[in-house]
Amino acid sequence: MTAPAPTTPDATPRWRRVRDHPATRFLVVRGLLHTAIVLLGVITVTFSLMLLVPGDPVRIALGTRYTQESYDALRAASGLDRPLLEQYLDYVLGAVRGDLGVSFRNGEPVTHVLLDRLPATASLALAGVLVGLLVAVPAGVYAALRNGRLADAVVRITSQVGVSVPDFWMGLLLITLFSATLGWLPSSGYVPFGEDPVEWARRLALPAVTVGLVAGSIMTRFVRAAVLDAIAAGWVRTARSKGLGRRVVLLRHILRNAVVPIVTIVGIQMATLLGGVIVVEVVFAWPGLGRLVYDSVTARDYPVIQGAVLLIAVLFLLINLLVDVIHTLVDPRIRNR
Amino acid sequence: MSTPLLRVRDLTVAAHGDPIVRGISFDVEDGQCLGIVGESGSGKSLTVLSATGLLEAPGLTIGGSSVLTDTTGATEIIGASRATLRGVHGPRVGFVFQDPGTSLNPLLDLERQLTEGPETHLGMTRRAARRHALELLEAVGIPDPEQRLRAFPHQLSGGQRQRVMIAIALACSPSLLVADEPTTALDVTTQAQILDLVRGMQDERGMAVVWISHDLGVVGQVADDVTVLLDGTAVEQRPVQEIFASPRADYTRTLLAARPTLGDPRPAPAADAEPVLRVADLDVSFAVRTRTGTRRIRAVRNVGFTVPRGHTLGIVGESGSGKSTIANVLTGQVRADAGTVRLHDADLLATRGADRRDLRRRVAMVFQDPFAALNPRATVERSVSEPLRVHGLATGPERTRRVADLLGQVELPADFAARYPHELSGGQRQRVCIARALACEPDVLILDESTASLDVSIQARVVDLLLRLQEELGLTYVFIAHDLAVVEQISHEVLVMRRGETVEQGPARAVLSDPSHPYTRELLAAIPPAEPRVRSSAP
Amino acid sequence: MTSTRPSTRPSALRLLLRNRVSLLGCLILAAVVLAAVVGPWLSPYDPNATDVGNALRAPGAEHWLGTDQLGRDVLSRIVAASQVSLRVAVVSVSIALVLGVGIGLLAGYARGAADAVLMRLVDVMFAFPVLLLALAIVAVLGPGLNSAIIAIGVVYTPIFARVARASTLSVREEPFVKASLTMGTGHAYVLRHHVLPNISGPVIVQTSLSLAFAILSEAALSFLGLGVQPPQPSWGRMLFEAQGFVGQAWWMSVFPGAAIFVTTLAFNLVGDGLREVLDPARRTALAAQGGRS
């Protein structure tokens, strides 16, 4: 039990007070350290992917294009002719600097290939999470408030259905309906936002709804559970015993306390969408990271597979770190224990 | 006589059609305190919270009438709309709950939690509400209120949190305060302070109080009238003096008789018994993580005692005194930094290997919470026979017979062996735990708050059982408790602890009737006396 | 409170079947398993028999669910594929269950350094999205049924490890575990008789939910051509082939997708029902209410 630092009612913004608090610094440092350890593990796993390939990856990748010269050239360019430990250290150092080697297919730097694909995937992931939140927050909160009644049962079963639908099947059905039958929306392709925002949105609509409904179904269940937990808390009874209005009880005492678990699941969904919508990207011919991984697996372009896997894992870790920071901002118990 | 402040008639509460409260009527007069007493499952909280309109759960049906009459007018609570109830809660009825740890919102500072009520009901501006909150914190005895307004609940102690909760309940000057077991989760000295505080507030503001408690002693200190509940019915409703002096209902008499009270020490046993357990110079510390790293907290400092065969040593202290740490050292769950623990001639702390396992068996323990101390997926037979299995004390039919014997020793029928813990009551579970401890054939039995979570009538019977077993089997007990009256019933010697250190130790009779240390005297003074308080300001 | 009635606790299965939604899940599962086991003898056509003259026939009396671009009977192919899907799901989840529970039990019970090391490994695995990691593993092992099983088994291991560890950590703190240890009971006995039975609830729930996701993952891998290889029929592959005929032959995409969806839904419904039934607090409430839902 430590007393809070004596403060005059000053005008320091809340975020600065939090940032400068010794506990925050400690927590952030610890979070970074933890992330760094996991990151090293992630890099090691991606590095070892190539080692696990039975046979000679370069030879497999070259396939029919194989000649002794092209083989030697590609091996040297990828550094595969050097001792293993040297390769590993090189890989780790390269990864930290953003150098992930060159593609087996066309010799392009992997980093370029990845950055090329990132905007399409990021658009889809953000739009998907947005659609998901628009579904999940109202549905989850409403179901929790009507716990045990008909509306709750409807939301629970609907979300169960949403979780069980294969996303690529839903994509196919949406294409059948909106493109093939009604002809309202294009079924595939991506146009960068900078080029034509309207077309960007039209093309994004179907894939975003596809991933958004699945993500929304998962999030609905978590939101409902988080709100139910918050409703059962003793301080909600205290709030009601003060005779506060329903809105105040709901917003200040229930939802505010449900924010921490909700932020966590949103973070997980965001990370999942960044790397997990491979099949949807294939269905909608969306030129994102998932599509890239699929093409590279088919073409046995191992450096690109490694790079994509690593990039997505790093994004996951960054999102986790961000979620931790938000927790710290919301919950005074984490700030100063 | 004028209309009572709260008039409750034929109140019924049913959960999924099963009646829990079966037609209770009572009046709460202006400025008076009504005590509602009952054991767990009596429906006491349900009765009061439904009569004041705070109960809200799916499947509950509430019937009868409850009319609140004050300067605002007369309001029927049962069946009232949510909007009506919002006008009642806060300005007309305030609430204090049992667990101060979960009653306050952990994400909001105290200022927000204190001001939102007055802003809603009294139309105060933020500034005015803040000034009001400062006055309230001062009134309930929170030091340095200006600073504390910006604190969060986790930065306060349990007692301080309960004071804040009282401030919140009083913020809109209600005419009725509902206190639902407000001191049950607190240490006895803190309980005494909260009792004083509520009494003072009641006299100062002239409000009425409904005090719900399982503890007749506490109710005797605050109430003018008492309603005793059993299984959802009121068995006796009379002024507090009469309840204590001449109880009419059998159940009230049972409650009064079962209540442990001070002043009835156990006769001293034979003085020539050989020492069984000898503890010397015990030091225990824990690493605690703080924001800047780890710090060691010394939980037990230089504690020593000797317990002869057939004797009971009572270890007394409030939460954080280190008394449970001693139990953990004796049973090998926590390592000591220094000191010795000898069981007969064996060194408990230094022995390793098979001998150590045997020593573990010879020091058995009975835990506080009988619900949690039994594996929910194991039958009584499985739990009781575990020591017999792992130490190879009995096998085959012999084992079954031993289990039946052990159940008989704790006064349970032999066919309980096939039951699961959830099919037993709290008292029965604790008997099973005692049987399991006896199955170890122990030299020493550690009883860590073993009766604390039981209802008083059951607690009394478990204490009787423990006394009988000690007599018959010549067991040696270490009885750890916060309740001095129970300790007096069962102990020959007493050791009083505070913040890891021994404050006082000696024969129970001497320590408890003529304490030499001020802290022991403070502990004793904090215990609600056997007789009810006589209120000076009789109406 | 002093007397207790004799045992009134209904079995978990009875409670599960009393809930209409979980009953539906159980019935669907039973139907799918039945189809997988006896379907090959009952289905009207050889799932791989091509009949180009009858290609792309709409559902009708002869072909209940229509035919594909090679004239193969869609119904027969769906039935044949159910066997493959279930086998992949069950075997891969069994791998994940054994590995994950082993890791989680060890980490949660031993705590300290072992816990830290094992959980950092699990964190590393967790950093990869499920399908991506599965894809990477298949890329290494080469496409095929066994690669799919290994890939799905590996990617679901960390979830089981986390579930088992979290339950073990909380069970380990239970007084009944402490009580057992204070009596000199060995760790093996405590793990077997106290910890394992009490973490089984969450693990069983996770098994059911993982089976649902394993069905989805297998379908996704096969859709991408990396799981089950032709000519063996699989739901995912059927959907992949249907892509080219979205406008002309809706039955080619609707029915295989519905098979994946219904099977996944059944596992999810059962998992959800199990969660309610196996949670001790919920269970008492359910038994008290007489299973109303």
DSSP string over A42-89: HHHHHHHHHHHSSS-HHHHHHGGG--HHHHHHHHHHHTTTS-HHHHHH
Structure-token pair, residue B327: 């139990």
Residues 6 or more apart whose CB falls under 8 angstroms from that of B402 comprise B385, B388, B393, B394, B439
CB contact under 8 A, C131 and A37: no
Q: How far is CA C143 from the centre of its chain?
A: 21
Structure-token pair, residue B226: 């008492």
Strand, helix or coil for residue B89: strand
pLDDT for res C47: 83
pLDDT for res B67: 95
Give dist(CA C160, CA C175) in Å, integer.
25
Per the CB < 8 A criterion, the answer to whether B473 and B482 are in contact is no
CB contact under 8 A, A173 and C254: yes
Residue with structure tokens 């009883």? B447
Q: How far is CA C233 from the centre of its chain?
A: 20
Strand, helix or coil for residue B124: coil
Locate all alpha helices (DSSP H) within chain C, ordered by sequence: 12-18, 20-42, 74-110, 112-126, 130-141, 145-172, 175-182, 187-190, 196-223, 235-242, 250-278, 280-289
CA angle at B291 for the pair B289 and B292, rounded to the nearest 5°: 95
pLDDT for res B304: 94
Question: Which of A240, A331, A337 is the closest to B291 by Cβ?
Answer: A337
- Measured N-to-C along each axis, helices A289-299 and A256-276 cross at an angle, to the nearest 10 degrees, of 30
Closest CA to B297 of B280, B320, B279: B320
pLDDT for res B401: 94
Q: What is the mean pLDDT of residues B337-361?
A: 88
Q: How far is C37 from chain A (nearest CA, A)?
A: 23
Give dist(CA B259, CA B261) in Å, integer.
6
Structure-token pair, residue C87: 């086998």
- Most confident of the ranges B402-406, C43-47, C240-244: B402-406
C65 vs B503 pLDDT, higher one: B503
Structure-token pair, residue B45: 């909280």
A169 close contact with C: CB closer than 8 A = yes
Closest CA to B481 of B315, B333, B347: B315
Q: Within the 129-168 window of chain C, which residues sit less than 8 Å (CB to CB) from chain A?
A: 129-133, 135-136, 138-142
- Averaged in consecutive runs of 10 residues, what is the pLDDT profile of chain A (337 residues)? 36 54 61 86 88 78 79 79 85 87 86 91 93 95 90 91 91 85 81 85 91 93 91 92 92 91 88 82 90 88 90 89 85 71
pLDDT for res C288: 47
Is the pTM for the entire model greater than 0.90? no
- Looking at residue B334, the DSSP 8-state letter turns out to be S
Locate all alpha helices (DSSP H) within A68-149, ordered by sequence: 68-78, 84-97, 110-145
Minimum mean pLDDT range among B165-174, B410-419, C66-75: C66-75
Please give the sequence-ordered ranges of beta strands (E in DSSP) within B202-348, or none if there are none: 208-213, 225-230, 233-239, 275-290, 293-308, 312-316, 338-343, 346-347
Contact list in C for residue B423 (CB cut-off 8 A) is 4-9
Q: How far is B151 from chain A (nearest CA, A)?
A: 6
pLDDT, tens digit, for every residue of B80-112? 999 999 999 999 999 999 888 899 999 999 999
Question: Which of A49, A172, A278 is the closest to C242 by Cβ?
Answer: A172
Q: Please report, rounded to a whole number, the percentage of residues in chain B having pLDDT higher than 70.
A: 97
A4 close contact with B: CB closer than 8 A = yes
Per the CB < 8 A criterion, the answer to whether C185 and C177 are in contact is no
Over 80: is that where the pLDDT of C11 sits? no
Measured between CA atoms, the residue of chain C closest to residue B424 is C4
Starting at the edge strand found earlier in the chain, the sheet holding B93-96 runs: B93-96, B176-180, B208-213, B33-37, B225-230, B233-239
Residue with structure tokens 């093996």? C188
Q: Within the 22-81 window of chain C, which residues sit less than 8 Å (CB to CB) from chain A?
A: none
Q: How far is C181 from chain B (nearest CA, A)?
A: 8
Contact list in B for residue C185 (CB cut-off 8 A) is 386-387, 390
Q: Mean pLDDT in chain B? A: 90
pLDDT for res A23: 55
**In this structure, how many other beta carbons lie within 10 angstroms of the beta carbon of residue B434?**
26
pLDDT for res B490: 92
Minimum mean pLDDT range among A219-223, B265-269, B285-289, C195-199: B265-269
CB contact under 8 A, A6 and B85: no
Q: Is the peptide bond before B182 cis (omega within 30 degrees of 0)?
A: no
Q: What is the mean pLDDT of residues B347-361?
A: 86
Strand partners, B210: B34, B178
pLDDT for res A9: 37
pLDDT for res A20: 57
pLDDT for res B498: 93
pLDDT for res A35: 86
Provide ipTM, 2 decimals.
0.84
pLDDT for res B352: 82
CB contact under 8 A, B458 and C6: no
pLDDT for res C262: 94
Per the CB < 8 A criterion, the answer to whether B458 and B424 are in contact is no
Q: What is the mean pLDDT of residues C185-205?
A: 91
pLDDT, tens digit, for every residue of B173-210? 999 999 999 998 888 888 999 999 999 999 998 899 99
Contact list in C for residue B389 (CB cut-off 8 A) is 189
Over 80: is that where the pLDDT of B216 sits? yes
Q: How far is B169 from chain C (nearest CA, A)?
A: 31
Q: How far is C1 from chain B (nearest CA, A)?
A: 6
